[in-house]
Structure 1
Amino acid sequence: MGRHANPDIRRAFAEFQDQDTPSKCNKVRCLHCGFVRAKNTTRQIEHLHACEAYLASPEAQQWHAQNGDENSMNAGMAPNSVLSGQQPNPNLQINRRGPNNKRARDGQQLAPHMNMPPPIAPSLTAHLLTICAQPFTQATQQPFLSHAGCGSLAPGPLSQWLVQDGHYARGFIRFVGQLLAKLRLPQTANSQFHPMYRTMDLLISALNNMRREMSFFEITATKYGLTLNQDPPTPITRALLDLFVSASSSSASLLEGMVVLWGTEHCYRTAWQYASSFSSSLSTPSTDNHIVALHQALIPNWTSPAFSKFIDASRALVDELANITTARDGKEEMTRCEEIFRQICWLEERFWPDVDGMGEEDDSARLGPNLGPMGTGMDNGMNNGMSNAINNGMNGPMQMNGPQMNEAQMNGLPNGLPSGSIQMNGQMNGQMSSQMQPQMNSQMNNGERPAGGDGRNNFAGLESVGQSS
């Protein structure tokens, strides 16, 4: 479509030819302020929009009276009024060629430079923290941490946690090594800006940090006289180590491994910041070695600015890797990252030792059926102790005052005799001998536990968890 004459422009400008320039181009002069420039309809409209003399002229006042106030130029005007030149276009000053710093004769900028905000990139870590807000809170606000901050934690749970964190640290070293093996470093002129090289630098920093932390544990235990035993990894610790192995395997992407690295470390920092928030309630300084170690060494270690800087860098790198991933099915990978973060929250919640209201170790906390001393093993030993003893006695010969029971009679006995409902006299058409009853009483009163009841948390069916780690 060809250009057409604009009556508003013609009335506001006088056109002439500059004879002094070699190109003898056509120029225009604003009849209101005298501004001279090369003829250009777009720039002439822009000038009218900023020309104070024109805006104060009767022509401009009449135009505003017919078409609305000045604000109507930005909202409410029909689009064709801008295209036909009847209204100066306010968007002409955006994205113009070159720096937009031209000034009028009075020194004011014709079109002030507008800094457009950069586009906000999606954040995978923010998404994970949003969908797992409640599990993350439960994982980082446990009674163990509040007692540690208040100074009421017993030495036993702290020693238990230090031993398990040592297993965690050694597994973390292997995990980061496997992630380093997954990197593919391209040849580039500026490697410090490439995401793969920056990932390598962060992983190397993670290895150095963990090695210093292992030495820090040894020095702290010696300095404050903390007792550390040789307990093996608990089932929860083994599950965390298995997560390290899974997230760094050949079937997992680099992004999944980085989510595990950031997620576990972010949980640690948030948890110890929660513990630190209770430090103000410590009215008088404690003289207990383990409390002094907590408040002078352990809590400051995981709430330090250096540790926070490392975690923030990890989070930024996870978000960057998520935005540049080239997997065939990005949605499937994002779903796996969500599952991994939920698993991290579940495991981190249970990684802290269970304590009661006094800060002492509590083996019975958070254990369901078949998961510990208060599960099925103890139920069979306490609630059904009589029926178990009788059933165990049936496997051998039973001496009755009457005739001995044969196999057919024994098979006819009811299974699962209820607790406390067994009547010795007359229940089985005879009485147990005086030799059998003292033997049963001796077994029950001497404190014999059922098989597997060694006083520690017994997780049925989880003995082989984490063997690969």
Structure 2
Amino acid sequence: MGRHANPDIRRAFAEFQDQDTPSKCSKVRCLHCGFVRAKNTTRQIEHLHACEAYLASPEAQAWHAQNRDDTSMSSGMAPNSVLSGQQPNPNLQINRRGPNNKRARDGQQLAPNINMPPPLAPSLSAHLLTTCAQPFTQATQQPFLSHAGCGSLAPGPLSQWMAQDGHYARGFIRFVGQLLAKLRLPQTANSQFHPMYRTMDLLISALNNMRREMSFFEITATKYGLTMSQEPPTPITRALLDLFVSASSSSASLLEGMVVLWGAEHCYRTAWQYASSFSSSLSTPSTENHIVALHQALIPNWTSPAFSKFIDASRALVDELANITTARDGKEEMARCEEIFRQICWLEERFWPDVDGMGEGDDSARLGPSIGPMGAGIDSGLNNGMANGMNAPMQMNGPQMNGPQMNGPQMNEAQMNGLSNGPMQMNGQMNGQMGAQIGPQMGPQMSNGERSAGGDGRNNFSGLDSVRQNS
């Protein structure tokens, strides 16, 4: 059956040429609802079957008034069935089976079409939070935060954290400035709706927020009499600042930088919300200045609705930028974003100062200038030995160490005394001091295969600053 001109189709659609496509195909636009598609009579008819604007139009009403007769009434068709979409317009019927008339191979009619909601756009932020659920939880549920919420945190860890947060804030301002430099703003109408302009507005807001936060720290310290430590950035803080530099460099995309901005701030909000969840356990208000400052100023600052609104806007922009990215290999860029988010969680977990069960600063899990818990004992033994009696040159490879005097069973007390007065004066100090230092520390570790008491496997490197300066 050949095609023929259909006056209803011509009246309902406007035809035009699409100059933006390579084929410059003909397209039509529904004059009732504005729907645009390629010119196809069958699909146009199907659209009018479901177009509520057309069914409620005067044309459809006029057709119904002209074609109401006894035939339609005797067939059981309701008077308004065409207008409500329950029955197709007979004037638009063609010789084909509609989607609801298809039958399966066994002769049973298939289920009717169901109007499904439009598919949701993919969410990069939801993917990152799902993939990195465990690292994110570890980064936002640290003992420092629970003690801060319970009111049992000591002043020292809070002062240490405030000093490191100051370094973080100053690095954050440079980071946002570099992200602003990466923006390419096109000339467009209604710029407030363009993603690049909205990203610019959010970054400017982030700069203003961080400047207010720096002033907020100074005012809070003065109001509550808090001590602002002047210690330099720890290696973990330096690693966060290095991440800011890397994510805003010319080799990184704008999306990667926005993932860092949203990820770091989202960790902060979630962490302080975790601390706030312990506030109800305070039986009586504390009178200590730093606890009062925590519960009246610091915790409310990062759990406020305004801060949550900023983070939600950042997350929405991350998802939008991910969906409109024009990277040559989008999968590779998504993998980099996931790697960056994991790094943020790892660093944020170690950014909070270590505290013990009483909320005091805990240095037992931190590495000193030597090689860890075992090295601390060795270093202490060596230092004590040198201080107590190593006045002669140390000859570790001489006959006193390798000869029969050390290894043979005939070595008696007199020989040991003789050795202690000879070139190898370190012998007694090494045996005594190292045994006292290494024994209590290595014994449980060697027997049980566990870390030293108080250690949780996190490296805070609190003693490496002096090593770096001296070297």
TM-score by length of 2: 0.66
- The verdict on how the C-alpha distance between 1:254 and 1:413 changes in structure 2, with shifts beyond 3 A counting, is farther
Deviation at 1:183, TM superposition (A): 0.5
- CA deviations 1:186-234 (Å, max 9, x no partner) are 1101111111000000000000000000000000000000001210000
SS of equivalent residue, structure 1 residue 227: coil
Q: Matched residues in 2 for 1:431 and 1:48: separation?
A: 110
Show the counterpart of 1:166: 166
Alignment-mate amino acid for residue 339 of structure 2? E
Note the 1:70-469 alignment, pairs <5 A. Answer: 78=103, 117-365=117-365, 367=366, 375-382=373-380, 395=393, 409=399, 412=402, 425-427=414-416, 430-432=419-421, 457-459=462-464, 463=468
SS of equivalent residue, structure 2 residue 215: helix
Is the 8 Å Cα contact of residues 286 and 292 (structure 1) preserved in structure 2? Answer: yes
Measured on the aligned residues, the alpha-carbon RMSD in Å equals: 4.5
Deviation at 1:384, TM superposition (A): 6.1
Note the 1:17-28 alignment, pairs <5 A. Answer: none
Deviation at 1:378, TM superposition (A): 1.5
Q: Matched residues in 2 for 1:146 and 1:207: separation?
A: 29
Is the 8 Å Cα contact of residues 173 and 210 (structure 1) preserved in structure 2? Answer: yes
Q: Matched residues in 2 for 1:128 and 1:462: separation?
A: 37
SS of equivalent residue, structure 1 residue 426: helix
Q: Matched residues in 2 for 1:271 and 1:46: separation?
A: 53
Show the counterpart of 2:71: 31
- The verdict on how the C-alpha distance between 1:425 and 1:304 changes in structure 2, with shifts beyond 3 A counting, is farther
Alignment-mate amino acid for residue 118 of structure 2? P
Q: Percent identity?
A: 68
Q: Matched residues in 2 for 1:423 and 1:337: separation?
A: 68
Q: Matched residues in 1 for 2:88 and 2:190: separation?
A: 46
Is the 8 Å Cα contact of residues 153 and 291 (structure 1) preserved in structure 2? Answer: yes
- CA deviations 1:83-132 (Å, max 9, x no partner) are xxxx99966xx9xxxxxxxxxxxxxxxxxxx7x63320000000000110
Deviation at 1:432, TM superposition (A): 1.4
Is the 8 Å Cα contact of residues 389 and 440 (structure 1) preserved in structure 2? Answer: no
Deviation at 1:276, TM superposition (A): 0.2
TM-score by length of 1: 0.67
Structure ID, larger Rg: 1
Is the 8 Å Cα contact of residues 220 and 293 (structure 1) preserved in structure 2? Answer: yes
Q: Matched residues in 1 for 2:292 and 2:67: separation?
A: 83
Alignment-mate amino acid for residue 141 of structure 1? Q
Is the 8 Å Cα contact of residues 147 and 153 (structure 2) preserved in structure 1? Answer: yes
- The verdict on how the C-alpha distance between 1:462 and 1:332 changes in structure 2, with shifts beyond 3 A counting, is farther
Is the 8 Å Cα contact of residues 157 and 353 (structure 1) preserved in structure 2? Answer: yes
